[in-house]
Amino acid sequence: MSYSPAVPSYSSGISDVPLLGDTIGDNFDRTVQSFGDRDALVDRPKGQRWTYRELAAEVDALALGLLEKGIGKGDRVGIWAPNCAEWTFTQYATAKIGAILVNINPAYRSHELEYVLNQAGIRMLVAAEKFKTSDYAGMIAEVRPRCEALTDVVLLGGADWTALLEAGRRADRARLADVQATLSADDPINIQYTSGTTGFPKGATLSHHNILNNGFFVGELCGYTEADRICIPVPFYHCFGMVMGNLAATSHGACMVIPAPSFEPKATLEAVQAERCTSLYGVPTMFIAELSDPSFESFDLSSLRTGIMAGSPCPVEVMKQVIERMGMAEVSICYGMTETSPVSTQTRADDSIERRVSTVGRVGPHLEVKIVDPETGLTAPRGEPGELCTRGYSVMLGYWEQPDKTAEAIDAARWMHTGDLAVMDDEGYVNITGRIKDMVIRGGENIYPREIEEFLYTHPDILDAQVIGVPDSKYGEELMAWVRMREGAEALTAESLREFCSGKLAHYKIPRYVHVVEEFPMTVTGKVRKVEMRAKSVELLGLEDIARLKHA
């Protein structure tokens, strides 16, 4: 990467393609008009598929059914379910009537569910009856008496769901057109709760304009047309699934393929082969699981052209394997956050392999990014690390009913402060070096775990690695590596790791402790929970007393 210190770390995304000014419903209707007979949605676990015309019939029936139930513009409708066709119906039906869809994490338990139902004032909850070990119906029954706003609960596949669709099919279609005509692209349409590491999550409130444009431009940079078929194993409740997946597809007439209700490596590979998918999404851990599946070599993945790897830092070695072994020559890295709809930067298909394995690309069309000194707030020179900030159509309206939290995240000039550390080179490519909160300070040296993690991926026996800081009486913090080993490899020790790193990493960057695990603690979206790892490490290493010491 080349740097010109005199040049500020600022970049704006110029584009010949204008922003979309319409609502999600109107944009969807236009796609149906153009591509009505093409495949729109495939739900493989259920063995069902819909053309755009057939999908529109289901969406409109549900939208009219919601209107018949008294749900209208601004009312909050919660959705609590794993990936399924009904999730997609609900996403587009609520958008068509101006109701605000509230995405609820499928991993939530009753305490978190109750918080979200009350914080968002959810009036209707659409939910799966159960999934895996989660008894959704039971948890809803438990919290419902304490949720005053909640008037309706509709369980997917149950009598109420059927009745809702039937009522919509009998209703006057003209009523829906009348309602759609009253909506603005700037209306709030979606609340997504960000998984806060401390305290309760905050509800990022997003408009039609935010998420429709983000889905559209992510799709543009992936080169999508109506001929594309996108395999979406990432969760719909998250921006990755419902925006980068669904909205990118429907704004281009492409097909959405659901391989399984939640991520399963083999089901994903089967879906790509059976549906001749041209694009595959995932966080790095998903791609690692697919590549290491024992039956990987038996699948025909030759239809793959592109895809997106995002959600957490993308290891260079994994990216190279995705290109070489999965044939995803045009795979794109995206960087973003829920509060920015989500994507701010993206690599392009014509970027060199080196760019795509070492950066998160350049700023997206119609957006701005800059890197600022966290202390002064001033824009840093190119090549200097600082906090990444983004501005433009993608920045959320705010956190739902939390103006104080909104003001902490979005400054007076409408820049969203990401909390991520980054560096920008001369061509505007951005490299994420870590979270401000993840930075380890060992004996006065600032250490970015990402750099060490990338190095550990070069170890022949390491499948995945995460580096954290743990308390230390001498240096304040020491480094600890959590590693997942390849099958058949000998367990790593601190001594053997030190030997591997010696002479290649500065002594202070060599992890003092090593912990071998089967898997890392994760959020549903595949982000590693480093907070949980630190807490467990303190316990494992017996550092409780040191952890309690106060530092200036």
DSSP state of 397: S
What residues have CB less than 8 Å from 67, skipping those under 6 apart?
A: 97, 168, 171, 175, 176, 179
CA dihedral 272, 275, 281, 286 (to 10 degrees): -30
Indicate the range of 99-113, 213-227, 351-365, 520-534 predicted with least confidence: 520-534
What are the two backbone dihedrals, phi and then psi, of residue 261, each rounded to the nearest 5 degrees? -60, -35
Contact criterion met (CB below 8 Å) for 131 and 81: yes
In the predicted model, what is the mean pLDDT of residues 271-283? 97
Position 198 confidence tier, pLDDT thresholds 50, 70, 90: very low
Rounded mean pLDDT, 254-268: 98
Averaged pLDDT, 475-480: 90
- Kindly write down the DSSP assignment for every residue of 20-58, as one continuous string: P-S-HHHHHHHHHHHHTTSEEEEETTTTEEEEHHHHHHH
Residue written as token pair 């008894």: 135
Report whether pLDDT(239) > 70: yes
Residue 535 Cα distances to 51, 231, 482, 521, 544, angstroms: 49, 36, 13, 11, 9
Mean pLDDT computed over 491-512: 90
* Separation of first and last alpha carbons in the chain: 36
Give CA–CA dist 395/404, Å, rounded. 16
pLDDT of residue 459: 95
Residue 481 phi/psi, 5-degree rounding, is -105, 130
Q: Can you give the pLDDT at residue 504?
A: 86
Judged against a pLDDT cut of 80, whether residue 526 lies above it is answered with no
Closest CA to 123 of 145, 101, 99, 151: 151
Residue 106 pairs with which residues in a beta bridge? none
Contacts with 404 (C-beta within 8 Å, 6 or more apart), sequence order: none
Over the stretch 445-463, which tens digit does the pLDDT of each residue have? 778 788 899 889 999 999 9
Question: For residue 551, what pLDDT is reported?
Answer: 39
- The confidence band for 197, taking pLDDT boundaries of 50, 70 and 90, is very low
Rg (Cα) of the chain, in Å, rounded?
23
User: Averaged over 326-344, what is the pLDDT?
Assistant: 95
pLDDT, mean of residues 457-480: 91
150-180 in b/e burial notation, b at 16+ Cβ within 10 A? bebbbbbeeeebeebbebbeebeeeebeebb
Cβ–Cβ under 8 Å, residues 119 and 203: yes
Give pLDDT tens digits for 135-168. Answer: 999 999 999 999 999 999 999 999 999 999 999 9
Give the whole-angstrom CA distance, residue 426 versus residue 11: 10
Give 552's pLDDT tier (boundaries 50, 70, 90). very low
Closest Cα to residue 58, out of 181, 166, 180? 166
Decide if pLDDT at 316 tops 80.
no
Mean pLDDT of the chain: 93
Pick the more confident residue, 158 or 503: 158
- Tell me, yes or no, if the two domains 24-424 and 439-550 fold the same way: no
| pLDDT of 64 higher than 80 | yes
Q: Label residue 3 by pLDDT band (50, 70, 90).
A: low
Q: 3-state SS of 124-159?
A: EEEECCCECCECHHHHHHHHHHHCCCCCEEEECCCH
Q: Encoding tokens for residue 317?
A: 């070695």
Domain ranges of the chain: 24-424, 439-550
Q: Taking a C-beta distance cutoff of 8 angstroms, is the pair 41, 199 a contact?
A: no
Identity of residue 503: G
The whole-number average pLDDT for the span 225-247 is 97
Q: Is a pLDDT exceeding 50 seen at residue 438?
A: yes
* Span 69-95, average pLDDT: 98
pLDDT at 195 over 70: no
**What is the model's pTM?**
0.86
Contact by Cβ (8 Å): 224, 247: no
Closest CA to 241 of 252, 228, 230, 254: 230
Phi-psi region of 534 (alpha: psi -120 to 50; beta: other; left: phi over 0): alpha
- The CA distance from 298 to 281, in Å, is 20
Tokens of 460: 């022949």
pLDDT of the residue at 549: 67
Q: Are 91 and 126 in contact (CB under 8 A)?
A: no
Cα–Cα separations (whole angstroms), residue 186 to 23, 74, 207, 288, 366: 8, 12, 5, 39, 16
Q: What is the C-alpha to C-alpha distance for residues 256 and 254, in angstroms, rounded to an integer?
A: 7
Give me the pLDDT at residue 527, please: 79
Q: Among 320-324, 441-445, 485-489, which stretch is predicted with the lowest mean pLDDT?
A: 441-445
For position 550, what pLDDT does the model report? 45
36 vs 25, 30, 91, 466, CA distance in Å? 15, 10, 19, 46
Res 273 pLDDT > 60:
yes
pLDDT band at 2 (very low <50, low <70, confident <90, very high): low
- Residue 546 banded pLDDT, cuts 50, 70, 90: confident
The CA-based diameter of the chain, rounded to the nearest angstrom, is: 74
Indicate the CATH number of 439-550 among 3.30.300.30, 1.10.1200.10, 3.90.320.10, 1.10.275.10.
3.30.300.30
The pLDDT of residue 473 is 82
Nearest 5 degrees, angle CA 288-CA 289-CA 294?
115
CATH code matching the domain that covers 24-424, chosen among 3.90.600.10, 3.40.50.620, 3.40.640.10, 3.40.50.12780 = 3.40.50.12780
